[in-house]
Structure 1
């Protein structure tokens, strides 16, 4: 399609992929969608992006990034049949991170039918220059159906300028860290770590003769105050060697469940093909795992091997929700960490192992996102491996004065012959556990 042109699209589920060529020094980009009625969002919930990945109606969701064959795609899923009747347009936009869209080569948006894989519409070369936010296209209603228009217009004010222009309330408050609790020794157990405070006897007050006063005239009940609108947080975090750690409390991640997602590019290569370090590459199976040490000294591992899936409601307050073997962006493998039990954690090491399908991370493309229920997402990319490694330490989460601090590790370890990846990472971080062979 050319800029300004339009085409009908089916009223069904569609996948919208923002794509570009990757490379050193090229800015990252993030796809987003705004559901509009009369040209504006009805509420901040009509903005779908990396910090708010699903619309309340279920009609639009952000599925995340994939890297393969020198290109990056960031994907949105849009089910036009489920879009509410009051929504007239769905703006498909993007924001640049670390530069302008003029520095992003091969920028395009492609709409496909996920049921058949057929391309419905595609808009290449939208003519971006100095913009840091860009509207690539939009779905809009026309005569009972839907059409797609290639827009190609941008903002130099970034995602914030784009969002506020369509009625989004944006604010990036700085949350001070809460006072740290003082702990003099490790508690004997989780259940008794913080016993309830003893009930205090009511204070004694002098008794005076009662004074008779006429009852006051009851005032009419005040109307309850309207709930304050919560501003949308646009910030996100990518930990680097220069900035390797972040406080969850300072980012607002102090409660709820933090979701740790692993997804990867599945490769189905020809029989006999060998990667950089040798070994046939077939369907790839990566396993997301976590070593934990609780405040009472208990240690363990959450992983698919041995069905050690954990729990969110009881120790270790970490849950692996399943064993995914596809690496799909919409699912992948997910760990949940219950931040309501922050005080029960001493340290957590999130790591990933190659179960089968490859002999090293060096030839693979995988990403990990830590998404607190309240707070900015934290991204990791597994594209830096230069050794024949089958186990990678991703992040070390440490309880520091009552605050969980996430430390970027990105440490690729090479196991000795006959030593499992789990034992290898245990030795590297001094967990001191006993390991036995296991299968899943």
Structure 2
């Protein structure tokens, strides 16, 4: 479809990877002094072979998924966004809504493409321009199974956030599953005034974008869309 507080924040400057978990679901990123971007990457394994067979990893597995895309699922990265001025919207491949701009026309959020098979080594990437971070109130990052049978366990999705204000990557693993849900809220990013807080969600919602919107009280108007 297209659209017209757990725990206390923890700061870290470690160069090691940080994985957000149920017991440690939140991290705080310092406000950038020199711009740059926060990158949110979704990578996942396309299914190969028949039902019940595990996904093949690595280059050969990605190549096979590219040659046989009908054997994989189409897992999309997107986000609901709300800016400080009260404007709201969605960034996603569906409806070609690849960017979100502020009132001055500057691109604040952008999605770099649509990996329809899971074959792209770089996955899908959502980028936040940190020079425009003051325009942001909150961002809800989600993954949607647009096509194919919901099989979150086999897709083994991983979202990795990288920022110039944090030396190591921040990882959210989709390590739970609801095979009747097509959409999963992955992480909630909020502007604290001092920087950004990242809250692990990994909340599966039965339905699509409208249902996710309702679950988080975003308040957008939704219409059917295609890509």
Over 3 Å counting, the alpha-carbon distance change for 1:438 and 1:329 in structure 2 is closer
Q: Deviations over 1:299-323 (max 9, x none)?
A: 0000001100005794550000111
| More helix by percentage | 2
Alignment equivalent of 1:243, drawn from 24, 28, 38? 24
Aligned residues: 198
Secondary structure of 2:82 counterpart? strand
Alignment equivalent of 1:308, drawn from 97, 113, 119? 97
Query: 1:344 offset after TM fit, Å?
Result: 0.6
Query: 1:350 offset after TM fit, Å?
Result: 0.4
Q: Output the CA distance in 1 between the equivalents of 2:138 and 2:181.
A: 24
Alignment equivalent of 1:369, drawn from 160, 167, 170? 160
Alignment equivalent of 1:284, drawn from 73, 97, 101? 73
- Structure showing greater radius of gyration is 1
1:398 corresponds to: 190
1:295 corresponds to: 84
Over 3 Å counting, the alpha-carbon distance change for 1:253 and 1:423 in structure 2 is farther
Q: Output the CA distance in 1 between the equivalents of 2:162 and 2:120.
A: 14
Q: Output the CA distance in 2 between the equivalents of 1:332 and 1:174.
A: 26
Query: 1:381 offset after TM fit, Å?
Result: 1.1
Over 3 Å counting, the alpha-carbon distance change for 1:315 and 1:363 in structure 2 is same
Conservation of the 8 A alpha-carbon contact between 1:364 and 1:383: no
What does 1:191-210 align with in structure 2 at a 5 Å threshold? none
What does 1:410-429 align with in structure 2 at a 5 Å threshold? 410-415=202-207, 421-429=208-216
Greater relative contact order (Cα < 8 A, sep 6+): 2
2:59 corresponds to: none
1:434 corresponds to: 221
Over 3 Å counting, the alpha-carbon distance change for 1:328 and 1:373 in structure 2 is farther
TM-score, normalized by length of structure 2? 0.78
Q: Output the CA distance in 2 between the equivalents of 1:259 and 1:391.
A: 21
Q: Deviations over 1:387-409 (max 9, x none)?
A: 52110000001111342110110
Over 3 Å counting, the alpha-carbon distance change for 1:254 and 1:318 in structure 2 is same
Q: Which runs of 5+ in 2 are unaligned?
A: 1-10, 54-69
Q: Deviations over 1:60-94 (max 9, x none)?
A: xxxxxxxxxxxxxxxxxxxxxxxxxxxxxxxxxxx
Query: 1:325 offset after TM fit, Å?
Result: 1.9
Q: Output the CA distance in 2 between the equivalents of 1:351 and 1:325.
A: 16
1:262 corresponds to: 42
Query: 1:289 offset after TM fit, Å?
Result: 0.3
Query: 1:263 offset after TM fit, Å?
Result: 1.1
Q: Output the CA distance in 2 between the equivalents of 1:398 and 1:378.
A: 15
Conservation of the 8 A alpha-carbon contact between 1:267 and 1:282: yes
Q: Output the CA distance in 2 between the equivalents of 1:254 and 1:412.
A: 36
Over 3 Å counting, the alpha-carbon distance change for 1:388 and 1:438 in structure 2 is same
1:389 corresponds to: 181
Conservation of the 8 A alpha-carbon contact between 2:136 and 2:191: yes
Q: Output the CA distance in 2 between the equivalents of 1:282 and 1:328.
A: 11
Over 3 Å counting, the alpha-carbon distance change for 1:366 and 1:256 in structure 2 is same
Alignment of 1:380 onto 2:172: yes
Conservation of the 8 A alpha-carbon contact between 1:322 and 1:334: yes
Conservation of the 8 A alpha-carbon contact between 2:40 and 2:159: yes
Conservation of the 8 A alpha-carbon contact between 2:20 and 2:200: yes
Q: Which runs of 5+ in 1 are unaligned?
A: 1-172, 176-232, 276-280, 416-420
What is the root-mean-square deviation in Å for CA atoms of aligned residues? 2.6
Secondary structure of 1:335 counterpart? strand
TM-score, normalized by length of structure 1? 0.42
